[in-house]
Amino acid sequence: MKSLFPYLAILLEVAIIVLFGLFVQYEKDQNIHQQPNSTTSTAVDRFLELYPLFQDVHVMIFVGFGFLMTFLKKYGFSSVGINLLIAALGLQWGTLVQGILHSRGQKIHVGIKNMINADFSTATVLISFGAVLGKISPCQMLIMTIIEIAVFAANEHLVAEIFMASDIGASMTIHAFGAYFGLAVAGILYRPGLRRGHDNNESVYHSDLFAMIGTLFLWIFWPSFNSAIAEAGDKQYWAIVNTYFSLAACVLTAFAFSSLVDHRGKLDMVHIQNATLAGGVAVGTCADMAISPYISMTIGSIAGMVSVLGFKFLTPLFATKLRIHDTCGVHNLHGLPGVIGGLAGIGAVALKASNTSTPAMQAAALGSSIGTAVVGGLITGLILKIPLCGQPPDENCFDDSVFWEVPQWREHDFHFPELDGHSQLEPEF
């Protein structure tokens, strides 16, 4: 990392600054300045109207995703810090790539929707980051960010402009895409040495509590994520309401199934941190459709159930049989619920809840998102295997000290044995 990472980061930032100088401008003056005494709604009015939604999405990207991944006991610095690094790179690169695709050879005029969409493109990489968390270097993450956002933008353009499919909450283009891209990368970078586990690949009490903070931020702001770029009026209203009730129903189902799958009936914090969010993912594709609140609640309930079952049964199966180690379980939070969302979108369009697409185009969008993600992830994984990328050895996985200066004393380095009359959280003197 020491020899390559800083130079690569500086090189990427300089290149992006040059590209911004060549291609990016503010929105045209006539569009953003309202004439005196004019009552006509202008772009600046829309900017200020959408800015609160942009703030919500921004908090999800930088706080929600970052803290959700702090569950590893010795990887908190990297979870939050590398999240910040790749999100900052991603939003700049996403602005350029998406802008070039949509500007049709013209200058890129940055408005509030460009900023929201740039955050969305970054979310894709952060989802994939969860699949390889603790096993790759910051240098590898910079490379992965550049490649993945380019592939994501191409697929999104195909889904929105060619297939004309509806996916307002991006169940397919962000969540399913990001999950299967990350799983493909994780499969290529599979480490046989980690097959039997790793001492640092576990949580402690306070790290799980920090991760739950990320869950709460994501859960609270998810209606903004699904409605931020929806058409103002009924569609934006439906997106907010449908997501709100889908998330609420998902929580109860996730708690119930977490208890059901444990032989002692106890709750698993991994399930609660992740499966309670699956409803927001699954309802995304049809969030802005008039599907009725009870349908959105049904979708959320199914997503919560499937997510818990995925954590319980599929994650171990992927690790042992498919040689895919999914650190955060992104397949269960984003992949499976994203597929559920895509299928729900096909059904909603078939039942005439929306007239903006056809079932065939919705199905094509789902297939394109998964297929493009897998192919792109496999190619990216092969590129990241190049030795110059600085992948840490097996014994240094899931440990901040490889890439960070860390305090010499860390609370979890001390063991608090459980003795008669002593709590597990109470040190023995």
How confident is the model at residue 195, as a pLDDT?
81
Per-residue pLDDT, averaged over 325-346, amounts to 98
pLDDT tens sequence across 211-250:
999 999 999 999 999 999 999 999 999 999 999 999 999 9
User: Which one is predicted more confidently, 41 or 17?
Assistant: 17
- When pLDDT is cut at 50, 70 and 90, the band that residue 388 belongs to is confident
Residue 164 pLDDT > 70, yes or no?
A: yes
- Model pLDDT, residue 316: 94
Q: Are 132 and 78 in contact (CB under 8 A)?
A: no
Per-residue pLDDT tens over the stretch 259-318: 999 999 999 999 999 999 999 999 999 999 999 999 999 999 999 999 999 999 999 999
Residue 420 has pLDDT above 50, yes or no: no
Whole-angstrom distance, CA of residue 306 vs CA of residue 300 = 10
Q: How close are the terminal C-alpha atoms of the chain, in Å? A: 41
163, amino acid identity: F
Taken in order 378, 382, 384, 390, the sign of the CA dihedral is positive
The backbone torsions φ and ψ at residue 406, rounded to the nearest 5 degrees and listed phi first, read -120, 155
pTM of the model: 0.92
State residue 153's pLDDT score: 97
For the record, the structure tokens of 180 come out as: 């299967």
Res 27: pLDDT: 83
Question: Per-residue confidence at 412, pLDDT binned at 50, 70, 90?
Answer: low
DSSP-assigned beta bridge partners for residue 396 = none
pLDDT at 427 over 50: no
Q: What is the mean pLDDT of the chain?
A: 91
SS3 422: coil
| Under 8 Å between Cβ of 159 and 129 | no
Give the pLDDT confidence score for residue 103 in this predicted structure. 83
Report DSSP letters for 319-363, one per residue: HHTS----SS-HIIIIIHHHHHHHHHHHHHHHTTS-SSS-HHHHH
Is residue 108 classed as helix, strand or coil in its secondary structure?
strand
Tokens read off for 422: 């002593």
With bands split at pLDDT 50, 70 and 90, how would you rate the model's confidence at 28?
confident
Q: Any idea which residue has 């240094």 for tokens?
A: 396
